[in-house]
Amino acid sequence: MLKNAVILQLHLLRSSKNGSVNVETMLSATAITKLRDGKLMLATTYNGLFIEQNGEWKQILNGFQKRIRDLHSEDNVVYGVGDEGIFIRSMNGGENWTVQRFPNKGNELECV
């Protein structure tokens, strides 16, 4: 079981219940959020999103070519914002996504 997580440069550091630390090399991580069921969702630079399932990382939203800069989850709804005014939303914990683009294509978007 995952106790906590910290994004540090290109690595995701995870500590387990017994206090040991596992280091997994990932692509450059840009945002992380914790879902209602306790799973972690991680945005990476230009390689989509990953979700933690049973201690393993599964890629979701494959082929997505824009960098996600921030993620936020509320219950089973996940929001993300990224480069060029991209806004993504999942209503079911990351299984399906809606992708929209803001007309101003701003790069300084954050979830609140």
Give per-residue pLDDT as tens, 53-101. 887 778 888 777 788 888 999 988 999 988 888 889 999 999 999 988 8
Q: Are 92 and 98 in contact (CB under 8 A)?
A: no
> For residue 18, how many other CB atoms are within 10 A of its CB?
6
pLDDT in tens, 7-29: 444 455 555 566 665 555 545 67
Candidates 50, 28, 48, 30; CA nearest to 40 is 50
Q: pTM (2 decimals)? A: 0.69
pLDDT at 78: 95
Q: Could you tell me the two tokens for 1?
A: 């079981």
Q: If residue 50 lies in a helix (H) or strand (E), which one and from where to where?
A: strand 49-53
Condensed to tens digits (0 to 9), the pLDDT of residues 24-55 reads 554 567 888 989 888 889 888 767 888 888 87
